[in-house]
Chains A and B, each alone.
Chain A
Amino acid sequence: MAPVVLTSRATGTLLFRGLLFAALLVFLFFPVYWMVATSFRPQNEVFVQFPTLFPHTPTLANFRRAWSQSDLPLYLRNSLITAGGSALLTTALASLAAYGFAKYRFFARKPLMYLMISAQMFPFAVILISIYSLLQVLDLLNTLTGLTIAYIVFALPAAIYILFSFFMRLPDELIEAARIDGAGDIRILTRIVLPLSWPALIAVGIYSFMWAWNDLLYSLTLITRDDSRTIGPGLLLAFFGEMQQDWAGAMAASILAALPAVVVFGILQSYFVQGLTAGAVKS
């Protein structure tokens, strides 16, 4: 249990603290509220200089329009495939590598690992120039497969580091005991280590998923065909293009586009928080 730090009950201090906290909460939560409020407003309540805090006559018209007038279902499907696929790939690659780095000693172990982790500093846009050429040669431009593979770039380095920190804290006695019982390396990995690692694997899976799910740069560049578009560029082209002034529609579409990830994340959040912060905080 963390100790209470703010104990002062002086009126001035309480007031100052309360106002500061309230301001922070408004900054963090009001934008989301405003998105929801706008999405329920009829057009004549959207385009006013001084909007009311709550919609007067709430309507679902914006949601219907957003769903039927854009290819939202298609974008969602494509985003789920690419983000889901790259999350699985990244987690698989990173977990094996991180376990190898954490629990085995071999030549050039450290330099290899730091090289891979340091890849976070290679600018994504610069890597993209060559990935574009690479996918072109492999005939994977404009394919969901190509985009899925390209997304490994975003999360692999951090995923290796997060899982490395996790495996380092897994007691060696566990592995040694199994070895004494005659278990081989593969058996130890699949029967003992991986079953214990679900929380960390889920955390890394969510982390990779969100990088791909939130992306605009790679999807905008590597996909130019309408039927392979993902959410980011799909929404951008649908609402900053032809329907330019449909703000209520854009907000409604945004909510529909965000909903699947919000729900999944809501369910898995506790794993994510533990897994992600474990590496940066030592107790």
Chain B
Amino acid sequence: MSGTGVHAARQPVGFGGAQAWFGFALTVPALVGFVVLILGPFLSSVYFALHEYRIESSEPVFVGLRNLETLWRDATFWQAWRTTVVYVAATTALTAVLGTLYAIFLNEPFRGRTIIRAASLLPWVLPSTVTAFLWAWLFHGQYGVVNAFLMTLGAMQQPFFWLSTSNGALSAVILAKAWLSTPIVMLFVLAALQSLPVEQVEAARLDGAGDGAVLRHVVMPHISRTLGIVVVLQAMGNLQVFDVIYAMTAGGPVRATTVLSIEVYRRAFEQWNLGMAAAVGLVWFATIAGIAIVYLRMLLKDNP
């Protein structure tokens, strides 16, 4: 796109009067949807967090910060918080590394590249439950192919019951999510790679740069912005993950894979303690907000 085109597109038309009203009117349906379905429910959850509110007692009773104080001393809550941090950090890092590598490989010309690229997004189209079944089956203790593979290689003597041990189950849900998200990261990084100017690479080569130097000094700086956005989006998405973990392990064994989303779900829809569930949600939100601020900064830098 030409420079003038970009510049012109940054000037919205209609500086007031009837046209401004028309523009605003266009946003009203989405605003209503946003207020009724997202902002309103979120604020009302904040309200619940300050109340003793169980479905059977039905009337919320104001208790101030008591729910949060209770949480502060609740070891199971902090365990869920730590599990979430470990899960998000591991999944996001793994996805970013694998997705970038994959994109660099798929950027090279080779036979069958088009088909592989097209087939790569398949995991993303699978319902979460299907993904969960699939990975639970791969990691099955008795009949799982992962164990068969590792034992054939001689890496293990006995089958390992992945989903019934804490670390095994956590590793399994991390791998499942990394599998699910790697193609998405690849997609964005590949798109960035395709806008890499040939001249930059050629200039570096003339300066005597090998593949490693080109990757480090030309490719990485070029894709870093895209990668940054994708990593933040992935981290925010991973903080939210419920489906795959719940369908694979239901948060177990015991509480080993209970992340905050599962903790909220349990307190709200199994114990029907909506006040405490909302309080967990509030602390969770504070964690996400930290990452979200970074994301918004990136967006603002893009569209000043």
A residues apposed to B, CB below 8 Å: 1-8, 13, 17, 20-21, 24-25, 27-29, 31-32, 34-35, 38, 46-51, 79, 89, 92-94, 96-97, 99-107, 109, 112, 114-134, 149-150, 152-153, 156-157, 160-161, 164, 168-173, 175-176, 179, 185, 189, 210, 213-217, 221, 231-233, 235-236, 239-240, 247, 250-251, 254, 257-258, 261-262, 265-266, 269, 273, 276-277, 280-283
Contact = CB atoms under 8 A, between A and B. Distances in A.
A153 B138 contact: no
Contacts of A109: 12, 23
A240 B247 contact: yes
B191 A281 contact: yes
Contact of B247 (A2, A46, A120, A236): A236
A105 B14 contact: yes
B133 interface: yes
A165 to B, nearest CB: 8
Contacts of B296: 114, 117-118
Contact of A231 (B26, B108, B127, B194): B127
A25 B102 CA distance: 9
Interface stretch (B41-49, B71-79, B85-93): B41-49
B143 interface: yes
Interface in B228-273: 229-230, 236, 239-240, 242-243, 246-247, 260-261, 264-265, 268-269
Nearest to A124: B240
Nearest to B243: A216
Contacts of B155: none
B134 A31 contact: yes
Contact of A6 (B108, B202, B278): B108
Nearest to B49: A126
Nearest to B44: A130
A224 to B, nearest CB: 10
Contacts of B243: 214-217, 232
Contact of A134 (B41, B118, B133, B201): B41
Contacts of B23: 100-101, 103-106, 109
Contact of A185 (B19, B123, B125, B302): B19
A269 B242 CA distance: 26
A31 B125 contact: no
B20 A214 contact: no
Contacts of B291: 121
B138 A31 contact: yes
26 contacts: A3-B196, A4-B108, A5-B108, A34-B138, A49-B159, A50-B152, A51-B148, A93-B29, A93-B30, A100-B25, A104-B13, A106-B24, A125-B268, A125-B281, A130-B40, A161-B299, A189-B26, A210-B125, A217-B265, A221-B265, A232-B247, A235-B133, A236-B129, A269-B121, A280-B226, A283-B1
Contact of A25 (B116, B197, B303): B116
Which residue among A101, A216, A233, A273 has the maximum number of chain B CB atoms within 10 Å of its CB?
A216
A173 B7 CA distance: 12
Contacts of B242: 124-125, 216-217
B16 interface: yes
Given A38-B137, A257-B127, A152 B33 contact: yes
Interface stretch (B61-69, B162-170, B208-216): B208-216
B102 A28 contact: yes
Contact of A131 (B27, B41, B196): B41
B206 interface: no
A149 B41 CA distance: 13
Closest CB pairs A-B (n = 8): A104-B23, A126-B281, A100-B26, A130-B41, A97-B30, A121-B292, A277-B191, A216-B243
B140 interface: yes
B37 A51 contact: no
Nearest to B39: A119
A168 B303 contact: yes
A176 B198 contact: no
Contacts of A152: 33, 37
B242 to A, nearest CB: 5
Interface string B111-132: 0000010111111111111101
A282 B298 CA distance: 13
B41 to A, nearest CB: 3
Contact of B48 (A130, A210, A251): A130
Nearest to A83: B127
B129 A231 contact: yes
Contacts of A251: 133-134, 137
B102 A24 contact: yes
A192 B6 CA distance: 19
A8 B193 CA distance: 19
Contacts of A127: 37-38, 41-42, 45
Interface in B278-304: 278, 281-282, 284-285, 288-289, 291-292, 295-296, 299-300, 302-303
Interface in B174-232: 179, 182-183, 187-188, 191-198, 200-202, 210-211, 214-215, 219, 226, 229-230
